A and B are shown apart, each in its own frame.
Chain A
Amino acid sequence: MKILVPVKRVPDPYAKVTVLPDGSGLDTTSLKFEINPFDEIAVEEAVRISEQREAEVVVVSIGRAECEEQLRKALAIGAHRGILVETDAELDSLGVAKVLRKVYDRESPDFVLMGKQAIDDDANQAGQMLAAMLGIPQMTFAAKIELLDGSVRVTRETDAGQETLEAPLPCVITTDLRLNEPRYVALPGIIKARSKPIDRHSLDDLGVQAECRVRVLRLQPPAPRGAGRQVQNVDELIEALRAKGVLGS
């Protein structure tokens, strides 16, 4: 069995991000970069599967040469090999899905496991687009994954509760936060990851063009909220809410 796991390099999800004064982007001067947390969960899940049955976990990242750091991290968690599609071109989600389709065609995995969204652009699109282009089923926002014989069962959150879906392989599964808690990677894993193979490709090698039809023109900081005030007790709170007219009658 082969599992393809795309991973994205994103700003540290726990750092406070600010917009540059000219709106040209985020201030990245003191930011660390990490694997997108949803993708890390996907790597962890794929590695757990490979620990229970014969499975190869292939991780792929698209971007500048620095994305190798995130591939190494995924290899340290336990992925077997990496693919870096090196480009500095801007891609929208459709552009990313088109690149991933080429990688999918070369690798022919049994399924793709990836984060439901990246925590920088918060798009939540690439997995569904990839599944559509491949004409294979998708199961998004997975909270639980059970591999059956030739098919897979996913339990996921819906707007009103939960549902369980089942689809034949191959398919695309996107991960939600509560699927698992990624392991802490100890030093031996990090050292071992240094010698695992990473193949490098350009978009040309893969025969795909950079596409970006949704372009970010500028960023703006969120509007600040007015300063609030402290109330001393429950009565004062109720009075303040009555004055605001938000208590109904």
Chain B
Amino acid sequence: MTRALAISLNAGDAEPLAAFCQALGVPFVLLAAGGDAPVDVGAEKIVRLEGDIPPADALSAFIAEMADGFDLIVGVAHMAGKDLLPRIAGLLGQSMVGDIVEVLSASERRFLRPVVAGNAFAEVEVANGPFVASVRATAFKSAARGGNAAVETQPAPSQGSTKRVSVSEAEGGRPDLTQARVVVSGGRPLKDAETFERLIGGLADVLGGAAGATRAAVDSGIAPNDLQVGQTGKVVAPELYVAAGVSGSTQHVAGMKDSKVIVAINTDPDAPIFEIADFGLVMDLFDAIPQLIERLRD
């Protein structure tokens, strides 16, 4: 690999992309198509797209046009990246390695990535030639800072045949789930949206963290979709993960088991979540969480 095009789509993408390129030892150009464009992460230059970023068909065509001279195109493996990057690979006729968590050998083009919901890790080797990659942001946390890259701006391409009809952003106020230092997650025992917000949201707020949820909680309408942590939702690795009323399904655990410290609160002492918890509290969350909120608020 001699030169990479790193594509930032969301806030917080630039740093893990820079850390990955640094781990590979390849110079890179940062394309900021959404998200931020810090000038000190060691990019050769930054190309910032201005205006609305279109759906994947138009954006992938635009990026494929500028791919000449790069033998690696890389982005972060979040929803936007998973949508866009394989399409770029398809347009260029290149293969893709997704969800990289470790560079095993840059010269031998070997990478580590989780498979089967994180129950195994595959060592993969990419054949010679240009390719596309995505990285888990939780695995490439800090890039060496320094320098001052030149910023070039270009208008974002206009929509292609796929039109964006409507967008609804979840109401903010809390840190982004994938970036938060603390995540408090709840499962179906939370009963309803109001209880979820009061207990899970309340504890997240006193800890300065984000709220997360299991698929069961999302499916039963207790928590909004974008809070889902798991194999098919978001992958998080905060300093502290508090799982309350979460049984610990494989699906959910795949999205949070790399957290530094895991706390499980559950009435069922045999819940699988206790197997991966650093601290387990067998207690009703309706007793435990109000107590935690009260003590931690002081």
* A residues adjacent to B (C-beta < 8 A): 11, 16-19, 26, 92-94, 97, 116-117, 119-133, 137-141, 143, 153, 157-168, 171, 176-178, 211, 213-222, 225-226, 228-235, 237-238, 240-241, 244, 246-248
Contacts and interface: CB of A to CB of B under 8 A. Distances in A.
B281 A234 contact: yes
Contact of A230 (B162, B166, B282): B282
B164 A163 contact: yes
Contacts of A244: 261, 278
Contacts of A214: 95-97, 124-127, 131
Contact of B123 (A126, A218, A234): A218
A157 B123 contact: no
Given A222-B120, A228-B278, A240-B279, A137 B160 contact: yes
A162 B168 contact: yes
Given A131-B87, A163-B167, A166-B162, A235 B120 contact: no
A235 B83 CA distance: 45
Q: Which 8 residue pairs of A and B lie closest in terms of their CB atoms, listed nearest first?
A: A132-B90, A129-B90, A128-B86, A125-B86, A213-B95, A213-B127, A246-B240, A164-B165
Contacts of B120: 17, 19, 26, 219-222
B79 A141 contact: yes
Interface in B239-254: 239-240, 250
A143 B225 contact: yes
Interface in B135-192: 160-170, 178, 181-182
A164 to B, nearest CB: 4
B65 to A, nearest CB: 13
Contacts of A178: 218-219, 225
B215 interface: yes
Given A131-B90, A228-B274, A229-B279, A122 B231 contact: yes
Contacts of B292: 234, 237-238
A157 B86 contact: no
A64 B292 CA distance: 54
Given A125-B96, A128-B90, A129-B90, A216 B240 contact: no
B127 A119 contact: no
Interface string B197-225: 00000000001100000010011000011
A211 B291 CA distance: 58
B129 interface: yes
Nearest to B34: A159
A115 to B, nearest CB: 10
Contacts of B296: 238, 247
Nearest to B98: A123
B12 to A, nearest CB: 10
24 contacts: A26-B116, A93-B86, A94-B90, A124-B98, A125-B96, A128-B84, A133-B93, A138-B162, A157-B225, A158-B226, A159-B78, A161-B170, A165-B162, A165-B165, A166-B163, A214-B126, A214-B131, A217-B125, A218-B122, A222-B118, A230-B279, A233-B281, A246-B261, A248-B207
